[in-house]
Structure 1
Amino acid sequence: MAGEAELTPTSYIQHHLHNLTFQVQEGGFWAIHVDTIVTSVLMGLLVVFGFWLATRKATAGVPGKWQAFVEILLEFVDKQARDTYHGTSKLVTPIAITLFFWILMMNLLKMIPADFIALPLELIGVPYWKPVPTADVNATLGMSISVFFLMFFFALRSKGLGGFAKEFLTAPFGKWMLPFNLILNIVEWLSKPISLAMRLFGNMFGGEIVFLLIWVLGGAGIVGALAGGAFGLGWMLFHLLVIPLQAFIFMMLSIVYLSLSEDSH
């Protein structure tokens, strides 16, 4: 980055953790993280393009390598969704596929060193670019809030407005404990999307900081670069397990929450 030689380790890390922000109103509260939105959309389009390539020349006979690979992944996600969800909605598998592969692609950006993305963008005048959308709590909260509204939709679809309201006010302690039921159910419903968002964000953000720390602590010169590369490779290999695991956990918990929202207490 420009002026990188004058940066301290702290300012170097802060620079790479800074979002490219568009302020809706000068001095106002609302701001848009441009890098998070653009990268998330690009990763979503990449997933769609990858699936399109698999279906473009799909055959019922012997499949090609890419078609076979995509079919294996889709069958895996479909099986997990069907085993977890016991309702009748046909939306669950598409939801599971969308969440898993979209989050997986966003998480995989962590495998690209931050400077490989930031430095070229700085050359064309972009001062900041945080490459991993799931290391931004706004992105993970956005996805978890979407799951929250889906939970609400599934509950209304299964129980109706009257049944949902009755259960919300009377379960689990009965109608004479209505205030306690209301407080408990509000906490339960709100804790689900918050825990979804914070779990994914915490793992991705923490991993990003460790990557930057390893690179900074390696020091300058050839020896420092080799040391940083060696330790970075070790952390990268470990994170190869964390990246799909976090996508899988987010997907599975979302399906569990959708299933629970249809169950009667």
Structure 2
Amino acid sequence: MFFRQISTPKEYISHHLQHLQFNLHTLKLLSGHNISTNFWILNLDSLFFSIILGLIFLFPFYKIAKNMQKNPNKIQTAVEILINFVNDNVNDIFHAKSQLIAPLSLTIFVWIFLMNAMDLIPVDFIPLFIKYFFHYSTIRVVPSSDINITFSMSIGVFILIIFYSIKIKGGKGFLKELIFQPFQHPIFYFFNFILESISLLSKPISLSLRLFGNIYAGEMIFILIASLIPWWCQWILNVPWAIFHILVIALQAFVFMILTIVYLSMASKKH
């Protein structure tokens, strides 16, 4: 345990589960508006690391795409393998024509993988760095363990589902799909609408909660190990768990990508 001033495991765990936050509610109160809600709170650490990891993804891919070589180096080869992997999955699942789905799927897979991979950094490493230079140690570095980040990504996918449904089927076709299936008899139309609406709304919820739950659980295990075991022997448990967690990190990024492709493929089909 590196934070010696935090005396108990409970305090240590609570400390590492606190976000660096910016409260817009306070600013609105100072401006004279009487607002009694905590909705407008930004988790600055989640936003910061999400943006940084997004740039880490975009910059090398842009440089490699701009300077393609006939005899590729190792980095270009790895990028090409990754692009082919994503492209094969898109071609197998999404059969409509779209210039968005493949780049979107690649972005989702790599971005979520990078966010998940932050879980492999030792629990106290970045907080100690921040504390040394900025005298502030309350920070979380795994964006995908923040429900706000995972839910915002799933909302983006949900908006695309609605967009493609209306674009391909039209407004009437989209409403008919909600009303006339799975049961064809008029007595079931209202029941169909409720059932299909719940099914539609459950897609972004399941996407966000699945990713959040798995990564949050992995983060909690790392924090528990750091809080209960002396730092000099934490590697005995950390190394095996980290090796296993690499599979979880990749799998959760893959599942989010695949489900996005499946949902958009379903939205693009006329029934």
> What CA distance in whole angstroms lies between the structure 1 residues aligned with 2:183 and 2:73?
57
Which of 244, 250, 253 aligns to 1:247? It is 253
Report the more deviating stretch, 19-28 or 34-43: 19-28
Please tell me the residue identity of whatever aligns with 2:262.
V
> What CA distance in whole angstroms lies between the structure 2 residues aligned with 1:93 and 1:56?
18
Which of 175, 194, 197 aligns to 1:183? It is 194
For CA contacts below 8 A with separation 6 or more, give which structure has more relative contact order. Answer: 2
Asked if 1:103 corresponds to 2:112, the answer is yes
Q: Which residue of 2 aligns with 1:42?
A: 52
Q: Which residue of 1 aligns with 2:236?
A: 230
Asked if 1:207 corresponds to 2:218, the answer is yes
Please tell me the residue identity of whatever aligns with 1:25.
H
Q: Which residue of 2 aligns with 1:115?
A: 124
Q: Which residue of 2 aligns with 1:163?
A: 173
How far is 1:144 from its partner? 0.4
Q: In the TM superposition, what are the counterparts of 1:14-33 in structure 2 within 5 Å?
A: 14-26=14-26, 28-29=37-38, 30-33=40-43
How far is 1:2 from its partner? 9.1
How far is 1:35 from its partner? 0.5
Please tell me the residue identity of whatever aligns with 1:195.
S
Does structure 1 conserve the Cα–Cα contact (< 8 Å) formed by 2:94 and 2:261?
Answer: yes
> What CA distance in whole angstroms lies between the structure 2 residues aligned with 1:212 and 1:3?
12
> What CA distance in whole angstroms lies between the structure 2 residues aligned with 1:6 and 1:57?
50
SS of 1:25's equivalent? helix
Structure 1, residues 34-86: CA drift from partner, whole Å, max 9, x if none?
01111100000000112123224312x21111111111111111111111112
Asked if 1:93 corresponds to 2:102, the answer is yes
> What CA distance in whole angstroms lies between the structure 2 residues aligned with 1:37 and 1:18?
14
> What CA distance in whole angstroms lies between the structure 2 residues aligned with 1:6 and 1:113?
17
Does structure 2 conserve the Cα–Cα contact (< 8 Å) formed by 1:2 and 1:122?
Answer: no
Report the more deviating stretch, 199-208 or 224-233: 224-233
Which of 241, 247, 257 aligns to 2:263? It is 257
SS of 1:5's equivalent? coil
Report the more deviating stretch, 3-12 or 89-98: 3-12
Displaced runs of 4+ in structure 1, greater than 6 A? none
Task: Give the TM-score normalised by structure 1.
Answer: 0.93
Does structure 2 conserve the Cα–Cα contact (< 8 Å) formed by 1:214 and 1:231?
Answer: yes
SS of 1:193's equivalent? helix
Please tell me the residue identity of whatever aligns with 1:118.
P
Q: Which residue of 2 aligns with 1:76?
A: 85
> What CA distance in whole angstroms lies between the structure 2 residues aligned with 1:166 and 1:79?
32
Provide the identity percentage: 40
